[in-house]
Structure 1
Amino acid sequence: MRCFLGLDIGTSAVKAILVDETGGARAEASSPLALSRPRPGWSEQHPDAWWQAVEATLDALAAAAPADLSAVAAIGLSGQMHGAVLLGADDRPLRAAILWNDGRATREARTLAARGDELAGRLGVRAMPGLTAPKLLWLAVHEPEVFAALRTLLLPKDWIRLKLTGERVTDTSDAAGTWLLDEARRDWDPEALDAVGLARDRLPRLVEGTDVSGRLRAEVAARWGMRPGIPVAGGAGDSPAGAIGLGVVDEGTALLNLGTSALLLAPTGAYRPNAAHLVHAFCHGLPGRWYQMAAMLNGASALAWAAGLVGREVGDLVAEIEARDAPPADLLFLPYLSGERTPHDDPWARGVLFGLDPTTSPADVGRAVMEGVAFTFADAVAALAAAGTDIRRVDAIGGGTRSRLWARILAAVMNVPVVRRKGGDKGPAFGAARLARLCLGEDRIADVCVSPPVDAVAEPEPDLVAAYGERVERFRRLYGAVKGEFSPRRN
């Protein structure tokens, strides 16, 4: 039986999955990644570390499932979006990649945003520091020798594509997050390129996620016992790839991802931008489809931070919180440890724990963090509603949603059912494997991108809905009250 390999280049790990023709997972592997923060607000990883992690995951698959790996008929890629991978003439990185959660390009984002709503409307969202284009302006000023030597700009997963196939290619869904793509035309935007001083020949070739982007090089295939020349699909950014893996591909469906960061994504059948509300309107990983998304920079990583702060393992802290089954906390937490995108566009916002007293326990802190992250989803629902998208149910993925309590809190805060699906935790790598299958041109999207069976549903509980409604308003007022205290960082 043929298999399809999905590779996801995440922030915290590279993940790989082998999926057979029935849609079932045959084998999985992952390899961790470290994050570098050389200065406050910066976030970097070296592309070589991604490839080393890919090698480790494929080595693990080759040891665990050699027959399935040799039966791979196509490969799909997904990865963290917005990162700037800067290659010189020899196709080697000129420096570490600048990642999606890097906030150094604040001034440059404002410069680009000042070009007006018409350009932002074409490019899907107002310019923000985490997107790729502002990073290029920052490089031109602060590392001009790197900018001058730049010959190819890639996104993280596309560095892996280059290693696998020798091709400099990206797909439209990942390109959508660069602030360089005309989303409706699904092509590079000349005005945006001019704004950052980048020639089109410095950009990769564009394909759709279901297109063949290149063929597996013979020497790479030989190392892991795969057939040379098998196709590598265009793939997708991690957000749309995760949606594809859950079957969130048609209007009326929605995806909630509570991983390192957090997002709420709703597919659309046409391009519907709303940059004024900081909603991202981007190309989906499937041709002729788009999505609206609220993107938040702080997800389950905030709980991991809190666990470290109080000297607990994350699992132990969650178990302690759930065992208490306490009512909603009086303690408030602003989870903006890495700044925030939707709805604030505030890279200098920071975490705030408000309402401490002598009786505050580690479990109280953990519960407040869970609630604070959930409250950002209330803001996300409101932003999407202002952009014309009504969320009535969400399919949830990401490590945070494994907590039944967190799922209950999310359902109450958003006042919509939160659905966990069997195998949903396979995430973007599973969506990448589906795109690998589709690139062969033998199957219909509707037959491949189906929703997995329901595993659990958290329905909104009326008492919690009422309790959290008032707390969400307090949460919003708290940010408004302290926002000015972050402002000196902006000068």
Structure 2
Amino acid sequence: MYLGIDLGTSGLRALMTDAAGRPVASAEAQYNVQTPHPGWSEQDPGDWITALDQAMDQLRDTPGYGDICGIAVAGHMHGAVLLDGSDQVLRPCILWNDTRSATEAAELDATAQVRDLSGNIVFPGFTAPKLLWVQRHEPEIFADVAKVLLPAAYLNLHLTGRHVADMSDSAGTSWLDVGARDWSEQLLKAGQMRRDQMPDLVEGCAPAGQLRSDLARHWGLTGPVTIAGGAGDNAAAACGTGVMAAGQGFVSLGTSGVVLTARDGFHPDAQTAVHTFCHAIPDRWYQMGVMLSATDCMNWLGRITGRSPADLTACLGDQLRPPGPVTFMPYLSGERTPHNSASLRGGFQGLSISTTSEDLAIAVMEGVSYGLRDCLEALRATGAELSSCLVIGGGSKSGYWVKLLATILDLPLQLPKGGEFGAALGAARLAQIAVTGAAPAEILTAPDIAATVMPDSNLRDGFDAGYAAFRARVSALT
């Protein structure tokens, strides 16, 4: 048996798979995010340990549980867990969606060679500017920092007793030479950090250590358990969906939105605001465009109207309508691709006395889809080519939204059959490779496809014009 752990922003999910890679059982535990000031987003790493124990307790009675022989962690990226010399947490983890370090990010991004070596713009959510913020605003804490770990690496420390991280997660720090797949002395110096403050690096599918014997006994696991390097959450999702080679990709309609494609080589183009990161398997990279608010925009609309997203969209059906009269800018938390702006904000345009909540819901779906089109166009600017994509995430349950997105992207979108295909499965697959030594291509296979949603050729031109108008409105905002 193998265990994949998906350490998410709002909860942890653990998935057991068997030797054939089939899901056997899963468990979940939730925790909270603290926002003590506007733009701040923090979490207590101790909550992750508690959630992991709760998930393991839920799985304990599953047949075969005691035979778990490999574990890997997929984690939300960019978070900063600061440890002293005794591995005690110095302050709450600063999360990926925290924007307090926008000034530090801009300064670091303007530093010579930073983009060239890291392959990326330095976004406010990345790890390096967070440490510069701590140096300026919490100098007594900065002085005590012995190690900086990403969230997944902190769980690796809990599991193995070692400071170890994988390449895909570490690529989002702005300290890693993403092409060379190693910490960069120049990037560390630019960020006022040292190599000894970094964890050891391994590939995501390679062994990172063994499960601590006391933890194995506590959980009731009987044999030696290998801990794999693991992955950042999007790299793990790529492993779960079999996205390994150039031309393969997925669109994620989740809380945030992602258009991701695998690359056979290192092809950075930082000015596009596309993320270029190491994949969780050796000698592979991936690129993605990221928008910070996707289905979260619909959740927000539900909160302010007092109606659930399902209720807001229930009357739409699957028949696509022409572009609506209201336009929505989906920038509730700033934006990454292609704007790199923590201060960009959203809004509606075209409201009238006759505007209904249904009009607003359609505008939100269109605005998010236009934002994902921005991501796709940015990927194409780097030389990436996609002829079709998987579509995953909570928004993919809306037939209307998927048809709309396929038409705006002008791409066939493939809906996987029901079951597991996300980050937890990707992590379990990485654990299986680490234990067995199997070739990644044998394990990281694509899911069966339930349906392929084609663009609506009758409405394609209308939505192309809608996208052009959307881009013009965004230009006025920026």
TM-score for the superposition, normalised by structure 2: 0.97
Q: CA deviation at 1:211?
A: 1.0
Asked whether the 8 Å contact 1:217–1:229 carries over to 2, the reply is no
Whether 1:115 aligns to 2:111 is: yes
Whether 1:394 aligns to 2:392 is: no
1:407-463 CA distance string (max 9 Å, x none): 111101110011111246541010000000000143221110111110121111112
TM-score for the superposition, normalised by structure 1: 0.94
Which residue in 2 is equivalent to 1:79? Answer: 75
Which residue in 2 is equivalent to 1:335? Answer: 330
Aligned Cα root-mean-square deviation (Å) = 1.5
Describe how 1:446-485 pairs up with structure 2 within 5 A. 446-483=441-478
Which residue in 1 is equivalent to 2:251? Answer: 256
| Aligned mates of 1:423, 1:140 — CA distance in 2 | 47
| Matched-pair identity in % | 40
Q: CA deviation at 1:359?
A: 2.1
Asked whether the 8 Å contact 1:75–1:436 carries over to 2, the reply is yes
Given the alignment, which residue of 196, 202, 208 partners 1:201? 196
Which residue in 2 is equivalent to 1:24? Answer: 22
Which residue in 1 is equivalent to 2:32? Answer: 34
- Return 470-479 or 331-340, whichever deviates more: 470-479
| Aligned mates of 2:351, 2:249 — CA distance in 1 | 36
Aligned residues: 478
Q: CA deviation at 1:90?
A: 2.2
Q: CA deviation at 1:324?
A: 8.6
Describe how 1:161-240 pairs up with structure 2 within 5 A. 161-240=156-235
Asked whether the 8 Å contact 2:274–2:287 carries over to 1, the reply is yes
Given the alignment, which residue of 70, 86, 105 partners 2:66? 70
Given the alignment, which residue of 71, 76, 98 partners 2:94? 98
SS at match of 1:53: helix
Q: CA deviation at 1:325?
A: 6.0
SS at match of 1:462: coil
Whether 1:319 aligns to 2:317 is: no
Q: CA deviation at 1:297?
A: 1.0
Change in Cα spacing, 1:210 to 1:325, as seen in structure 2 (3 Å) is closer
Asked whether the 8 Å contact 1:399–1:425 carries over to 2, the reply is no
- Return 218-227 or 3-12, whichever deviates more: 218-227
Asked whether the 8 Å contact 1:397–1:424 carries over to 2, the reply is no
Which residue in 2 is equivalent to 1:9? Answer: 7
SS at match of 2:459: helix
Asked whether the 8 Å contact 1:269–1:289 carries over to 2, the reply is yes
Which residue in 2 is equivalent to 1:159? Answer: 154
Describe how 1:237-248 pairs up with structure 2 within 5 A. 237-248=232-243
Q: CA deviation at 1:388?
A: 0.7
Runs of 4+ off more than 4 Å = 323-326, 423-426
Change in Cα spacing, 1:25 to 1:136, as seen in structure 2 (3 Å) is same
| Aligned mates of 1:344, 1:166 — CA distance in 2 | 40
Q: CA deviation at 1:68?
A: 2.6
- Return 213-222 or 266-275, whichever deviates more: 213-222
Q: CA deviation at 1:323?
A: 7.7
Q: Which runs of 5+ in 2 are unaligned?
A: none
Which residue in 1 is equivalent to 2:295? Answer: 300
| Aligned mates of 2:392, 2:311 — CA distance in 1 | 21
| Aligned mates of 1:442, 1:108 — CA distance in 2 | 42
Which residue in 1 is equivalent to 2:138? Answer: 143
Which residue in 2 is equivalent to 1:47? Answer: 45
Describe how 1:294-443 pairs up with structure 2 within 5 A. 294-322=289-317, 326-423=321-418, 426-443=421-438
1:123-175 CA distance string (max 9 Å, x none): 02011101111111111101111111111100011111111111111001000
SS at match of 1:322: coil
| Aligned mates of 2:377, 2:469 — CA distance in 1 | 16
SS at match of 1:178: coil
